């Protein structure tokens, strides 16, 4: 009985910590899902853009003296603009072609971005201090100490995901978006500028990745490879959730964070592989993903 | 499939193919002779180890091209078969003192054996899903390679002996090894060409161009796709095994996802779906890596830049562009 | 677009694709020239602690050896192995076979080092390793052509594990990267902890690579109530676990200490003192150790990325300096003719340099020098940039490394 209680007291913190990881998965796969839904492009550069967000926060702080809150707004904006430029100059040329070209192009873009940051900042990683105001949120549960910043990450990720979902499902812009996914020509005929909408969608998806990057900066070491660590897992999350499904991306993201958090306790060796095993099972039983339509 | 189809980029979608020498068209036969001549002559002018690396990767790229160029499936996880081939060949040659010819075949066998379940799982989806699923599965192989005791973990399998071919030819000399690698490459190359021009290959292309039509004609398209996948994986395993013998080493690099990216790059640079493209692409990329080694991280930037340039401006690749300029299919 | 394509095509056409990889031997040239090649990570995780900084140290060693004044030419080249054994062995093979390279220096990343070790031995050249951690280089895989200069896993485990217990850290919990290197580090350290009367309360294996969040593992470690949390991992894993340990205040109250088993001064710099304070680690060189090390650092001048020299870079300097002394002693022709002879000469001469002081090279190729246990300073204790360490203890040279008869080196058994 004591054992069980002990295990339980172990699990509760893990659930919370798992949610933090889930928050990152959710934010990243949400951006991927939006981009894929609208542009039909798998954005391989998503990890690199996440990394750029973290670096942008670091540069804003160390070069311009702009702190965390400013970075939370400015970094996604800056990286989003870079995303818009990338879309305008490169991705937009590929819409009429096989979607795989989009994957290859963004793979190349990811290599270039990572390489440039490696040259500029080395690889040992930079530190971004946690803003002190989050100390007020620190939680102390017996032996378990939960930094306030992690609580903040979960809250802000949930809010962000909800807001995105609301924009897409409940607003006029969202309605245009959904319509343009189904029938681009028709929507264009109604006088909606579909190409611009695609550009802005890509920018928004990239900004979401950068936003996640700023959130991650105080937790992880800020280094050029930080996005590549995430991106393959996030791909698996997207496949499990079902491509293009926004709800699927968010729910699966949080869920897999939880599953990983619990695996960490019972079988830590498997916590990196568990996502791929789940992916294989989902593919066997529901090839379109948990929330996808076939 | 639409005009923008990835496999059609190399111009392989031509309707009629006149069969000539070994199933090559006349320009292809000419190009093939040039290739053979280059393979025969170059070791006397260039560093054989460098040439062997090109040939191993050329075979790898050809195997990859079999899937993308003729079935229209982009695998982003081919490093798994290449890398496991390298490990198994290396382990067999080192721990069991298996002769090199058998060790390489074992590498091919493990590639195919791995390709069977992975292919079975992955061909349930096409396009981008297929790419992502193969990537994720290859990532599992990577974790396995890191953990399994026989792979030597991070150190890899070191000091793999090249051995004695058929008990006669001592492969320690670079030039002797080169002839073996050249033979493996040419046989593999012709085998792929033969497969593509067999009735089996015709069905594959039919699936690529219009899968529902192929299904309605009574072909079990999944079986064909799976067979192509297993073949491709097996050949990738042979390429990996050969490379392990050449360099006496099999390591995690061979199973890492960046290796999967590299083979895509090679094929893309040379020309997706062209017969000779993967060979040229492998030569270009390996040469480039060789020259740029001293530039450190810029190699990544340049490789990425080439990726972008190819996708935006040279979708046909080097060979595809040449073929297009000469109005022939290469 | 067409213009785009044409310019790109033009660029591609001028690039020498087949062009110039001439298969020729450079051996005939300049019998009076020693060619030193630095092979390390110039783009990845170990760039700052080895990378171009190592080459700079090698150049300083060449300059200070005074060998050029005696009419002997020395050429230094460098390349990036990207931490990939196949890239490293390709480069090394070309250097040795075609470019007439006599010595290969540095080579961090154990897998690459072991590959180069074989190549150099086959061709009877010299391998001065500074960057790699594996103690196999002087154990099962030892070679008459190799000197392993700076550190190895056995030494790190012994110093950190043994000295920590003596300093009062009796109970341990390990956070171990789940691959051979991590397992070996955990096993070796555990042995030393136990042999000093300490106990192991548990360990957790973290997937490698791909673990970015260490918080749940740190929680498990904290629950074990161990006095020391040993980090049997390297590079980014170590940095993330130290960072997150600070975030979760694992070490608050001073009850628990964090021991990094493979941490370099450049890592501490990247983390910052605020995060790294209190961390315990072992190194064999610290730039601010004494007047000689400070003098060395000053002579080196500005380093790439503005770092202070790491022990790996210092090892490149010291090993090349000693090698050139041996060359001066035996003559260029003899040194070039047989790498094993050159290494034998190095072993026969006592070493002396500003970085590691007086020392010797053992028959199995192991360089012997003292090893230091450091604690990272509190921000308030630090007097300026790069003032990071305070000395906790020193293991003398003769005890710092694995005894020769335990390594299984074939050179010394017969």
Chain C residues within 8 Å of chain A (Cβ atoms) = 43-49, 178, 204-207, 209-213, 215-217, 219-220, 222-223, 236, 239-240, 243-244, 247-249, 266-267, 269-272, 274-275, 305
Kindly identify which residue of chain C lies nearest to residue B311, measuring between CA atoms.
C5
B307:A107 CB<8 A: yes
Chain C residues with CB inside 8 Å of A94's CB? none
Residue B4 scores a pLDDT above 60: no
B154:C43 CB<8 A: no
Share of chain A above pLDDT 90, in %: 30
Q: How confident is the model at residue B113 (pLDDT cuts 50, 70, 90)?
A: very high
Q: How far away is chain C from the Cα of A291, in angstroms, using its nearest Cα?
A: 26
**Which tens digit of pLDDT belongs to each residue from A75-116?**
999 999 999 999 999 888 888 887 778 888 998 999 899 889
Residue B297 scores a pLDDT above 70: no
- pLDDT for C14: 41
Kindly identify which residue of chain C lies nearest to residue B158, measuring between CA atoms.
C115
Kindly identify which residue of chain C lies nearest to residue A272, measuring between CA atoms.
C207
Residues 143-182 of C with CB under 8 A from B: 178-181
Range name among A284-293, B119-128, C162-171 with the lowest pLDDT average: A284-293
Kindly identify which residue of chain C lies nearest to residue B43, measuring between CA atoms.
C23
- pLDDT for B10: 43
Average pLDDT over residues B222-241: 92
- Distance in angstroms (rounded) separating the CA atoms of residues B306 and B309: 5
**Which tens digit of pLDDT belongs to each residue from C48-76?**
888 899 999 999 999 998 888 888 889 99
Range name among A123-127, B11-15, B17-21, B145-149 with the lowest pLDDT average: B11-15
| C171-177, strands of its sheet edge to edge | C199-206, C171-177, C228-232, C257-260, C280-283, C371-376, C389-395
| DSSP states of C170-206 | -EEEEEEESSHHHHHHHHHHHHHHHHTT-EEEEEEEE
For residue C250, give both structure tokens: 């694992």
- pLDDT for C30: 65
Kindly identify which residue of chain C lies nearest to residue B286, measuring between CA atoms.
C17
Partner-chain residue, chosen from A98, A111, A119, that has the shortest CB–CB distance to B4 = A98
- The structure's pTM equals 0.82
- Taking only the tens of pLDDT, chain C with its 414 residues reads 333 444 444 444 444 433 344 444 444 446 788 999 999 988 777 888 888 999 999 999 999 988 888 888 899 999 888 788 878 888 898 889 888 899 999 998 888 898 899 999 999 999 999 999 888 899 888 999 999 999 999 999 989 888 788 878 889 999 998 877 788 889 889 988 888 888 899 898 887 766 778 888 888 888 888 889 999 988 778 888 898 888 888 877 677 889 998 899 988 988 888 888 889 999 999 999 999 999 999 998 888 878 899 999 999 999 999 999 999 989 888 889 999 999 999 999 999 999 999 999 999 999 999 999 999 999 999 988 899 999 988 989 988 999 988 888 888 865
Q: How confident is the model at residue B294 (pLDDT cuts 50, 70, 90)?
A: low
Partner-chain residue, chosen from A13, A130, A220, that has the shortest CB–CB distance to C240 = A220
- pLDDT for A4: 64
- pLDDT for A143: 67
Q: How far away is chain A from the Cα of C214, in angstroms, using its nearest Cα?
A: 10
Kindly identify which residue of chain A lies nearest to residue C178, measuring between CA atoms.
A269
Kindly identify which residue of chain C lies nearest to residue B315, measuring between CA atoms.
C5
Q: How confident is the model at residue B152 (pLDDT cuts 50, 70, 90)?
A: confident
Residue of B297, B313, B314 to mutate, interface with A, max A Cβ within 10 Å: B297
Q: Are B80 and B141 in contact (CB under 8 A)?
A: yes
A239:B129 CB<8 A: yes
B46:C89 CB<8 A: no
- pLDDT for C10: 46
Domains of chain C: 5-151+290-369 (3.40.50.2300), 154-283+370-400 (3.40.50.2300)
User: Virtual CA dihedral for B26, B31, B36, B38, nearest 10 degrees?
Assistant: 150
Chains that touch C (3 or more CB pairs under 8 A): A, B
Establish, for the pair of chains A and C, how many residue pairs have beta carbons separated by less than 8 Å.
106
B5:A98 CB<8 A: yes
- pLDDT for A3: 64
Partner-chain residue, chosen from B131, B304, B312, that has the shortest CB–CB distance to A93 = B312
- pLDDT for C222: 84
Chain A residues with CB inside 8 Å of B129's CB? 239, 243
Establish, for the pair of chains A and B, how many residue pairs have beta carbons separated by less than 8 Å.
125
**Which tens digit of pLDDT belongs to each residue from A8-26?**
666 777 788 888 889 999 9
C179:B48 CB<8 A: no
ipTM over 0.90: no
Given CB atoms, is B146 within the 8 Å cutoff of chain A?
Answer: no
Average pLDDT over residues A286-294: 75
Average pLDDT over residues B150-171: 79
Kindly report the three-state secondary structure assignment for every residue of chain B. Answer: CCCCCHHHHHCCCCCCCCCCHHHCCHHHHHHHHHHHHHHHHHHHCECHHHHHHHHHHHHHHHHHHHHHHHCCCCCCCCHHHHHHHHHHHHHHHHHCCCCHHHHHHHHHHHHHHHHHHHHHHHCCCCHHHHHHHHHHHHHHHHHHHHHCHHHCHHHCECCCCCCEECCCEECCCHHHHHHHHHHHHHHHHHHHHHHHCCHHHHHHHHHHHCHHHHHHCCCCHHHHHHHHHHHHHHHHHHHHHHHHHHHCCECHHHHCHHHHHHHHHHHHHHCCCCCCHHHHHHHHHHHHHHHHHHHCCHHHHHHHHHHHHHHHHCCCHHHHHHHHHHCCCC
- pLDDT for A9: 66
């Amino acid at each position: 009985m004591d054992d069980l209680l002990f295990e339980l007291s172990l699990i509760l913190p893990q659930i919370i910590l798992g949610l933090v990881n889930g928050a990152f998965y959710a934010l990243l796969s949400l951006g991927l899902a939006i981009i894929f839904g609208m542009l039909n492009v798998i954005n391989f550069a998503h990890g690199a853009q996440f990394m750029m967000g973290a670096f942008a926060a670091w540069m804003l702080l160390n070069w311009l003296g702009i702190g965390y809150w400013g970075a939370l707004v400015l970094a996604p904006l800056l990286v989003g603009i870079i995303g818009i430029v990338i879309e305008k100059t490169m991705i937009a040329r590929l819409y009429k072609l096989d979607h795989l070209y989009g994957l290859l192009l963004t793979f190349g873009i990811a290599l270039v971005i990572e390489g440039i940051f490696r040259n500029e900042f080395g690889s040992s990683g930079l530190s971004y201090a946690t803003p002190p105001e989050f100390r007020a949120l620190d939680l102390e549960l017996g032996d378990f100490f939960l930094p306030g910043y992690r609580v903040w990450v979960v809250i802000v990720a949930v809010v962000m995901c909800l807001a995105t979902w609301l924009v897409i499902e409940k607003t006029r812009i969202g309605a245009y978006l959904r319509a343009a996914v189904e029938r681009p020509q028709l929507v264009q005929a109604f006088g909606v500028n579909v190409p611009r909408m695609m550009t802005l969608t890509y920018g928004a998806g990239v900004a979401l990745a950068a936003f996640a990057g700023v959130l991650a900066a105080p937790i992880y070491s800020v280094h050029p490879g930080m996005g590549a660590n995430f991106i393959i897992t996030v791909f698996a999350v997207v496949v499990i959730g079902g491509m293009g499904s926004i709800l699927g991306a968010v729910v699966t993201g949080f869920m897999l964070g939880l599953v990983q958090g619990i695996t960490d306790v019972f079988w830590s060796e498997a916590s990196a592989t568990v996502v791929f095993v789940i992916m294989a099972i989902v593919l066997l039983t529901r090839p379109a993903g948990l929330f996808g339509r076939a | 499939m639409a005009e923008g189809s990835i496999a059609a980029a190399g111009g392989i979608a031509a309707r009629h193919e006149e069969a000539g020498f070994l199933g090559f068209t006349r320009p292809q036969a000419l190009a093939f002779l040039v290739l053979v001549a280059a393979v025969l002559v170059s070791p006397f002018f260039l560093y054989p180890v460098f040439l062997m690396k090109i040939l191993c990767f050329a075979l790898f790229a050809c195997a990859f091209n079999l899937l993308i160029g003729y079935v229209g499936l982009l695998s982003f996880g081919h490093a798994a078969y290449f890398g496991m081939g390298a490990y198994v060949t290396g382990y067999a040659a080192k721990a069991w003192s298996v002769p090199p010819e058998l060790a390489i075949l074992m590498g091919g066998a493990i590639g195919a054996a791995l390709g069977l379940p992975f292919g079975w799982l992955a061909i349930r989806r096409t396009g981008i899903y297929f790419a992502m699923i193969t990537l994720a599965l290859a990532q599992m192989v990577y974790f396995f390679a890191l953990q399994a005791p026989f792979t030597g973990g991070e150190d890899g399998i070191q000091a793999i002996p090249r051995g004695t071919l058929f008990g006669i030819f001592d492969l320690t000399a670079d030039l002797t090894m080169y002839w073996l690698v050249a033979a493996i490459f040419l046989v593999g190359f012709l085998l792929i060409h033969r497969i593509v021009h067999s009735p089996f290959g015709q069905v594959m292309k039919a699936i690529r161009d219009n899968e529902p039509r192929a299904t309605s004609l009574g072909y079990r398209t999944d079986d064909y796709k799976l067979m192509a996948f297993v073949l491709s994986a097996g050949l990738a395993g042979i390429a990996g095994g050969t490379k392990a013998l050449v360099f006496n080493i099999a390591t995690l690099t061979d199973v890492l996802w960046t290796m999967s990216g590299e083979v895509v790059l090679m094929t893309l640079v040379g020309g997706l779906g062209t017969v000779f493209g993967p060979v040229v692409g492998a030569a270009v990329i390996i040469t480039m890596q060789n020259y740029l080694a001293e530039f450190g991280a810029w190699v990544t930037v340049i490789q990425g830049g080439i990726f972008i340039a190819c996708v935006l401006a040279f979708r046909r690749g080097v060979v595809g562009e040449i073929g297009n300029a000469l109005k022939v299919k290469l | 677009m067409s213009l785009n394509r044409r310019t790109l095509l033009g660029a591609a056409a001028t690039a020498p694709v087949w062009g110039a990889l001439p298969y020729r031997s450079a051996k005939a040239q300049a019998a009076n020239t020693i060619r030193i090649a630095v092979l390390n990570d110039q783009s990845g995780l170990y760039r700052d602690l080895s990378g171009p900084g190592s080459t700079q140290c090698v150049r300083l060693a060449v300059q200070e050896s005074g060998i050029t004044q005696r009419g002997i030419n020395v050429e230094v080249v460098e390349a990036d192995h990207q931490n990939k054994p196949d890239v490293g062995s390709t480069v090394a093979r070309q250097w040795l076979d075609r470019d007439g390279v006599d010595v290969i220096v540095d080579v961090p990343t154990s897998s690459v080092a072991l590959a180069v070790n074989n190549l150099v031995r086959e061709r009877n050249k010299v391998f001065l390793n500074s960057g790699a951690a594996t103690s196999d280089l002087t154990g099962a895989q030892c070679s008459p052509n190799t000197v392993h200069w700076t550190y190895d896993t056995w030494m790190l485990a012994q110093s950190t594990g043994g000295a920590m217990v003596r300093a009062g850290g009796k109970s341990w919990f390990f956070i171990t990267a789940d691959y051979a290197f991590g397992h070996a580090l955990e096993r070796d350290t555990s042995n030393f902890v136990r042999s000093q009367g300490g106990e192991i309360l548990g360990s957790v294996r973290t997937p490698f690579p791909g673990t970015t969040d260490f918080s749940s593992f740190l929680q498990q470690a904290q629950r074990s109530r161990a006095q020391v949390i040993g980090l049997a991992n390297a590079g980014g894993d170590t940095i993330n676990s130290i960072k997150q340990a600070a975030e979760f205040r694992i070490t608050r109250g001073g009850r628990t200490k964090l021991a990094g088993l493979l941490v370099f001064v450049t890592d501490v710099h990247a983390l910052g003192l605020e995060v790294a304070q209190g961390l315990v680690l072992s190194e064999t060189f610290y730039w601010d150790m004494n007047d000689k090390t400070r003098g060395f650092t000053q002579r080196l001048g500005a380093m790439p990325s503005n770092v202070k020299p790491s022990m790996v870079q210092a090892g490149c300097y010291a090993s090349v300096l000693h090698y050139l002394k041996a060359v001066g002693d035996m003559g260029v022709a003899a040194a070039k003719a047989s790498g094993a002879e050159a290494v034998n000469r190095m072993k026969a001469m006592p070493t002396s340099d500003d970085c590691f002081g007086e020392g010797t090279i053992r028959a199995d190729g192991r360089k012997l020098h003292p090893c230091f246990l450091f604690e990272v300073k509190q921000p308030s204790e630090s007097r300026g940039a790069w003032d990071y360490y305070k000395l906790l203890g020193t293991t003398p040279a003769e005890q710092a490394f694995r005894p020769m008869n335990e390594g299984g080196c074939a050179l010394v058994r017969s």
